[in-house]
Structure 1
């Protein structure tokens, strides 16, 4: 096994994506440090704090510098932080103008602002993938709006539902995640420039204006206060990833169980050899769902680590900050991977409507016992209707007969429902789907889409 699956040639794209790795790799991170230093120089030049020529030369040096990563590594291991090492190299490249580099800043100002830039761009990737997944789920819910299947509670058949209703439940969670992301972005994409103890004493008057211009240069929000040791913003970002991957894992769990031979209601997209066993030729394992579930479990632990890392001492922490360096990139990589697996799996999901209908008949009508009970309740009273139908269910189970046959031999039920034909009608699963279709329509509409349900009913063969 590799020491780190995220950079493994074998496992890397199962636990992350190339796009997300490109946002968090060493080269990108050092590039962000340089970007922040340059933005600070530009902001200070605009205020006349440093010469404009010096800022221009710092920018020119940044554009031509070839960072010695080996030297960076050695100095970072010695110093404990990477900012002094990059300042050494960039200031040397900038010549005399290098004396104005990093003016009034502290290491954490640069690192936190760089992290904010990474998180902002990473969240934009997550948002794009969520929107794409939302479109896939809208199509799935629309296509199967009227596809009947067994609804299950406590892993037991409960009442009939539709597969479109199940997909719409998944969709509603993804919709909320898109909304949440837009809400948290202003609290997460925030710059940091406060000086050594968070007071901007190093720059004095005009420091807040300098801070505002730095954030403006980078397209970040200006902080209300120094957040060197107030880490709720970044903790919220990782907690958000925990919510996203948790919803993905719920979807994956449903799919995995429905893929099992005993259910046989769906299957992940067929790709030759995907999910194959080295010894059992018949196997077709739900690999995408398994990877989604595994990733969600890891992100959940990362959320806990970020909550713990919020507990920081005084004006600069003595260790909790470093936890973020591990947790944030890994949480984003795992979430990106989960979304990629989900998009692949759900866009090509094979839905077996015939098997869903067969499973509805497994209990020989017991799944619609509530339908009969509620229909009889106006005449018998709810409690008596429940007792009568309950006894009929027990008899059907004991004798192995269809519930409709048992009920048709019960004079109270036949009389309450108005004849045997009505009893049998109430024992049809398709007749007891409730408002599932309307609920699907509403979920899709709230997701910003419209649909023609008449066309759907024709297309679905109902």
Structure 2
């Protein structure tokens, strides 16, 4: 992933240096297990443990000759260790090292992403409570619908990212499997106890049956989970972009005092962070598709997945880490305009009350069809006119014959639409104290 969209703590997980450290650790643990089983001499293994080392540069140079990454790692190791080097990689195949290391990388990367989501959830929760009773017009199909609050909107966001956290936790569990089972996974030259020993030390579970590689459905599940989180990020970035449109202007993403929005128009304040998030989500979905295509390997294994995984998984985890940071900054530092929300709510001229009036008419004894048509007539007059819906409802013969003016006024109040805000917060596990509208 390019430096622009990368953070150091996630980059470290995917660094060549860190990868080689894991390779060495796995090889040493295998030797330790083999000594414990009585397969190898303890004295020579002690020498290996003291002297084992290899640099990234050595491996790269050797790989140019061998065109095989693990052999390029093993040969300089063996040369450095002398006669004891013959025990390195005893009974193993390349995938024992590669796939187990890959599991460690993905487990660690997932841990960082889970922490990112937890930080985001904390910020969303604070804002949701702060704006729990801040009324705004809800929109369906981009058109005024009925009143809601900005806090309820953010409560939806909180629940979505709670689900994201739960899914990623499951995906982390599913990817945390390693293997030390040798060629085609049959343990022909290894005791399965070696595998158990090594994986327990690494904090991984044992793949129940490998084919020489860990099945790639595990990896596809994780990457699809990351892509889904990206789509959730895009959903809310899109929402904030719409709320920042000039004709709406209820919420703005952060804009620094030194920031410039356009090379041509000095007045511009564009939602560039949220637009960037929408673009990056497209990349994540592309990586997810590539991971799905890695699942059907030939027979016990082929290497067609390798080139995809070297790009897709580091990029996807680095990218999502960056995206979650950006979204957290947007939530934390966004500007919210309650007065503008109230102005837009007022601009609906009470059209939001159409359903309430219709249901009140039904309760008076007329059919739903009659009630719907009567209220629709009043609403269409409101759309064309310049007065409130309550005015046109009171002027409608059928409506006014069944509902008193004060009943119509009550049905057109905002408060009646927000009475269940505390209930909704409580159902999501949050307690809020004030029940009054906070414009």
TM over 0.5: yes
Equivalent in 235, 240, 252 of residue 267 of structure 1 = 252
Q: Distance in 2 between matches of 1:289 and 1:48?
A: 60
Report what 1:426 is aligned to: 411
Report what 1:104 is aligned to: 91
Matched, 1:127 2:114: yes
Q: Distance in 2 between matches of 1:45 and 1:155?
A: 69
Give the secondary structure class of the aligned counterpart of 1:361: helix
Q: Distance in 2 between matches of 1:81 and 1:143?
A: 57
Equivalent in 260, 281, 286 of residue 271 of structure 2 = 286
* 1:132-186 CA-partner distances (Å, limit 9, x unpaired): 1111111111111111111111111211111111111111111112222222323
Equivalent in 153, 166, 172 of residue 179 of structure 1 = 166
Report what 1:440 is aligned to: 425
Q: Distance in 1 between matches of 2:151 and 2:412?
A: 22
Query: By how many angstroms is 1:233 displaced?
Result: 1.0
* 1:243-289 CA-partner distances (Å, limit 9, x unpaired): 11111111111011111111101111232234622222212222221
Matched, 1:376 2:361: yes
Q: Distance in 1 between matches of 2:223 and 2:380?
A: 50
Give the secondary structure class of the aligned counterpart of 1:253: helix
CA-based RMSD of the aligned residues comes to 1.9
Query: By how many angstroms is 1:108 displaced?
Result: 1.2
Query: By how many angstroms is 1:66 displaced?
Result: 5.0
Q: Which moved more, 1:296-305 or 1:83-92?
A: 83-92
Q: Distance in 2 between matches of 1:390 and 1:54?
A: 89
* 1:176-221 CA-partner distances (Å, limit 9, x unpaired): 1222222232321111222122212122xxx211111110121111
Equivalent in 188, 200, 204 of residue 220 of structure 1 = 204
Report what 1:246 is aligned to: 231
Q: Distance in 2 between matches of 1:77 and 1:311?
A: 29
Aligned 8 A contact 2:354 2:379 in 1: yes
Q: Distance in 1 between matches of 2:176 and 2:435?
A: 46
1:82-231 map, 5 Å? 82-203=69-190, 207-226=191-210, 228=213, 230-231=215-216
Aligned 8 A contact 1:83 1:107 in 2: yes
Aligned 8 A contact 1:229 1:315 in 2: no
Q: Which runs of 5+ in 1 are unaligned?
A: 1-5
Report what 2:380 is aligned to: 394
Q: Distance in 1 between matches of 2:273 and 2:423?
A: 31
Equivalent in 328, 345, 350 of residue 335 of structure 2 = 350
Query: By how many angstroms is 1:461 displaced?
Result: 3.8
Query: By how many angstroms is 1:78 displaced?
Result: 4.3
Q: Which moved more, 1:277-286 or 1:46-55?
A: 46-55
Seen in structure 2, the aligned counterparts of structure 1 residues 389 and 212 have a Cα distance that, compared at 3 Å, is same
Seen in structure 2, the aligned counterparts of structure 1 residues 237 and 52 have a Cα distance that, compared at 3 Å, is farther
Q: Which moved more, 1:119-128 or 1:70-79?
A: 70-79
Q: Distance in 1 between matches of 2:353 and 2:66?
A: 70
Give the secondary structure class of the aligned counterpart of 1:230: coil
Seen in structure 2, the aligned counterparts of structure 1 residues 209 and 22 have a Cα distance that, compared at 3 Å, is same
- Number of residues paired by the alignment? 437
Aligned 8 A contact 2:260 2:266 in 1: no
* 1:16-73 CA-partner distances (Å, limit 9, x unpaired): 21111111122222222222222222222222222333333333234xx350x33322
Query: By how many angstroms is 1:77 displaced?
Result: 4.2
Seen in structure 2, the aligned counterparts of structure 1 residues 248 and 55 have a Cα distance that, compared at 3 Å, is farther
Q: Distance in 2 between matches of 1:342 and 1:318?
A: 36
Report what 1:3 is aligned to: none
Q: Distance in 1 between matches of 2:21 and 2:128?
A: 43
Aligned 8 A contact 1:127 1:181 in 2: yes
Q: Distance in 1 between matches of 2:131 and 2:32?
A: 56
Seen in structure 2, the aligned counterparts of structure 1 residues 217 and 386 have a Cα distance that, compared at 3 Å, is same
Equivalent in 2, 8, 15 of residue 25 of structure 1 = 15
Q: Which runs of 5+ in 2 are unaligned?
A: none
Query: By how many angstroms is 1:229 displaced?
Result: 6.0
Q: Distance in 1 between matches of 2:51 and 2:106?
A: 26
Aligned 8 A contact 1:145 1:164 in 2: yes
| TM-score normalized with structure 1 length | 0.90
